[in-house]
Structure 1
Amino acid sequence: MPTDAELKVAVLGLGYIGLPTAAVIARTGAQVLGIDVSQSVVDTVNSGRVHIEEIDLDGLVSGVVARGNLRASTLIEPADVFVIAVPTPFDDNHAPDIGYVLKAATTVAAALKAGDVVILESTSPVGTTEKVRDLLAKLRPDLKVPGTGPGTPDIAIAYCPERVLPGRILVELIDNDRVIGGITPRCARKALQFYRRFVRGACVTTTARAAEMTKLTENAFRDVNIAFANELSVVAGNLGIDVWEVIRLANRHPRVNILSPGPGVGGHCIAVDPWFLVHGDPENTPLIRTAREVNDAKTGYTIGRAEALIEAMPGAPVACLGLAFKANIDDFRESPALKVAASLAHRFGERVRIVEPYADTLPKAFDGSGAGLIDIDTALETCPILIVLVDHDVFRSVPLEERAAKRVYDTRGIWPDQPQLAVSEVSPIRLAS
């Protein structure tokens, strides 16, 4: 593989994973081309700016673009390493859609040459990397593709899932361990050489299928444990008990570590990936399916409790605090907070005001609702009802004296000193999918 200064890398997809990955690789001195279907994303990156919110990403992108190590385009070019980081959504029946991955692989095929490495990073159902291999073999019969016949392959194909936390992506891209699965052991070794250029964490090699399942397992583990916390919060609410106190006390047991409940589960990973395991073996995944259903149902439960609180104060303005799927980011994908706030906005109209410090305008989900976007100070001055949906730091910092007189539904437990609502005001409400 070429030296850092000579290495050419193409990253397909400049979203929440692709752009930080491209920038981190460019920082090593490699020549990185970011490919995206959006011309506006390409223009933004080429101007040295970013279109997503991530700590320190703006400065990093500005620097590597200025040095000529990162540029963006809608068109593929020859490279030594191709990294695919495109979305993998699911359809209405929770079946995974790998169409974007296969389209990206088709794009890569046009630029492939002997010696190249193709790496899929998108979270994918088990067997997706093999589908990429088969597609490349079909589109490029002039190249020997690994796992499709005898002889030394001309290219290497591997799967290496991202495992980063939004808000810490630049740190975790470098420090976290990486699982690298090759179509063949040789493929894994070739990909390993690439990741060792910028990853300080351990790089562990395995098969592509094992690496694919590892990523799905990590997110399903989180989902199942969050479902337990969400189910506890419903039981505690209906019994008139503070679930946050119960969790704090239970976690004093040396072998108990209950996670935090919320209004559901969001993001493109935990809210999506467990379905890939369910779809792969529906007969043997009842626990994973149930966890998904519990977490999805918690959003409806949250809407019901919020509606009961709002109806108890006819005409009073309501502030919904947060739309993102987690704290201190601008990512609204699969966000339960957005679903709750949009549902309330369409039911109660102009009474509902939205506070989201990481948005300049309201998402399309609010079109026609009459809801407006305000800041936290305005919310505290004008809204007697506060519904906490995201634990942004700016919300945590609000002192008790500014909210003590408010009616508060805190779905994130950020204000443990807040006077609790009477159970009769908001409960009982059944958790149901």
Structure 2
Amino acid sequence: MKKKVCVMGLGYIGLPTATMFAVSGHEVVGVDIEEKVVKTINEGRIHIEEPGLAEMVKGAVMEENLLASTEPEEADVFIIAVPTPLTEDNGANLDYVKSATETIRPYLKKGDLVIVESTIAPRTTEDIVVPELAKSGLEIGREIYVAHCPERVLPGKIIHELVHNNRVIGGINEASALKARKLYTSFVQAEMYITDATTAEMVKLMENTYRDVNIALANELAKISEKVKIDIWEAIKLANKHPRVNIHQPGPGVGGHCLAIDPWFIVESAPKEAKMINLSRNINDSMPQFTIRNVKEKLFGIANPKIAILGITYKGNVDDLRESPVLEIIDHFQEEDVDLSIYDPHVDECQYNLVELEEAVKDADCIIIGTDHKAFKEIDPAKIADLMRNQILFDTKNLLDYDWWQEKGFKTYKLGDYSDYDWQKEYGIKEVMKGHKEVAATKEAASN
């Protein structure tokens, strides 16, 4: 049956979800506090990058099944898909969820269904959302139905995965879960599993924590590889030949709205018990500084170096900057007044000054590959080598054809690969960026 659906939050999850309901025949009102976002959508355009979404939004708006607004309306279903960032002490900031719940309360009527899709800490539905909804005077579970249905999608593949990924639906009672499952049959073609709301909350956190812990293992092994002098990428590839081994890939850190945040929600809920999860988060959070130290080693002895950073999103082929570890690397070098240039073909606007590739590498001493965009594989090193002052490449993603780059005169390095810079680690790392005279003196002292 056709429903009126009000989606609170039109970001990377809210907009695709609203669009899927709209193209499935429901009447959808999408709500966002950003007037620019509302205007963009009502013009049939999108403000995020996601394959296939632009065409769907345009069609849904033209068919008048999708309308964006800064205020909610009465509806049959309310879906909360707002951000849940971290607090300063790595706790769950639920202010947006609370605000969205308060905002929809005056519009509730008997028989409505409220679904929280935002990733939330355990017991948020029961302890925060339900009490707020109860202030409407409607009986929870009989007159108002409540469920937590976390999204389980990957940016760049959201449209496909909204349809084909299995779904966990946690209701505050069975009636709520069944109503939510019936609604999602509008477009979900995969299995849908019913459970209680708190279990559903924990399932989503567990999924992302599993991946975060695995990445932390890879990152710790990358650090160890320097000590034992091996190429961690080769070692992981060979280890994964074992049928029961699947070690993830190391990198400059872990980003995105899920992996970099969700494990902290578990730690906050059980800090004494979540020892491994806490340690894994700290390992992954240490990787930007590990990357910075490695880059400084490669630049030792170069006066006033210029660094070109290619790729600043948290993963390849998307425009999503949320929690990207590359941003910490940029901020660190900017604080040290290092000459930086930044290029990302997937990002139009951000807090940094972005330039085209040729301008980014002009007079640069080092290129840092921060993100595994496919476009970077197509860069011809011969066309940029002569633009640079020194041809140093540091790849945090093991993305490029190093033989090709070396043939064109580049010194190539990658994160987690050993190097012969031990004497510099001992004598010069803290002085690397302070200018040629101090570095030269340090180098001379080391050689003596």
CA distance in 2 between counterparts of 1:253 and 1:197 reads 41
- 1:192 equivalent in alignment to 2:181: yes
* Aligned position for 1:48: 44
Match of 1:114 among 110, 121, 126: 110
- Please tell me whether residue 417 in structure 1 is matched to residue 427 in structure 2: no
Measured against aligned partners, the alpha-carbon deviations of 1:124-156 in whole angstroms (never above 9, x if no partner) come to: 00111112111111x212x1112xxxxxx1121
Written as runs of structure 1 = structure 2, the 5 A alignment for 1:12-411 is 12-130=8-126, 131-137=128-134, 139-141=135-137, 143-146=138-141, 153-349=142-338, 351-363=339-351, 366=352, 372-380=353-361, 382-399=363-380, 401=382, 406-411=391-396
Partner of residue 149, structure 1:
none
**Alpha carbons of structure 1 residues 132 and 250: separation in structure 2 relative to 1, 3 Å:** same
* Larger-Rg structure: 2
Label 1:190 to 1:344 Cα distance change in 2 as closer, same or farther (>3 A). same
Q: TM-score, normalised by structure 1?
A: 0.90
Structure 1 residues 236 and 403, CA gap change in structure 2 (3 angstroms): farther
Question: Which residue type is aligned with residue 360 of structure 1?
Answer: D
Shift of 1:403: 7.2
Conserved 8 A contact 2:358-2:384: no
Q: Find the aligned partners of 2:329 and 2:421 in 1 and give their Cα distance.
A: 18
What SS class does the counterpart of residue 22 from structure 1 fall into?
helix
Kindly provide the CA deviation profile for residues 303-327 of structure 1, in whole angstroms up to 9, marking residues without a partner as x. 1212232344223432111110111
Name the aligned partner's letter for residue 353 of structure 1.
S
Whole-Å Cα distance in 1 between the matches of residues 309 and 320 of structure 2?
17
Length-normalised TM-score, structure 2: 0.87
In the alignment of these two chains, the number of paired residues is: 409
**Identity fraction in percent:** 42
SS of structure 2 residue aligned to 1:424: coil
CA–CA distance in structure 2, aligned partners of residues 69 and 316 of structure 1: 54
Matches of 1:313 and 1:255 in 2, distance apart? 46
Quote the offset at 1:381 in angstroms: 5.5
1:310-347 CA-to-partner distances (Å, cap 9, x unmatched) read 34422343211111011111111111011112322332
Deviations 1:336-392 (A, max 9, x none): 01111232233243x3111111223441xx5xxxxx522234445543411111001
After TM superposition, what 4+ stretches of structure 1 lie above 6 angstroms from structure 2?
none
* Residue-by-residue CA offset, 1:88-114 (whole Å, 9 max, x unaligned): 112111111111111111111111111
Deviation at 1:424, TM superposition (A): 3.2
**Cα distance between partner residues in 2 of 1:360 and 1:36:** 21
AA aligned opposite 1:145: I
Tell me the distance in 2 between the aligned counterparts of 1:273 and 1:312.
Answer: 41
Contact map agreement 2:370 2:396 (CA 8 A) in 1: yes
Note if contact 1:388-1:409 (Cα within 8 Å) is conserved in structure 2: yes
Deviation string for 1:231-283 (max 9, x for gaps)?
11111134332211111111112211111110000111000010000110111
The one-letter code sitting in structure 1 at the alignment partner of 2:70 is T
Instruction: Specify every segment of 5 or more residues in structure 2 that has no aligned partner in the other structure, as ranges.
Output: 407-411, 427-448
Give deviations 1:43-92, integer Å, cap 9, x for gaps: 11111111111112111111100110000111111101110000111211
CA RMSD, Structure 1 to Structure 2 (Å): 1.9
Could you tell me how far apart the structure 2 residues matched to 1:113 and 1:361 are? 41
* Aligned twin of 2:442: none
Distance, in Å, in 2 between the alignment partners of 1:285 and 1:212 is 16
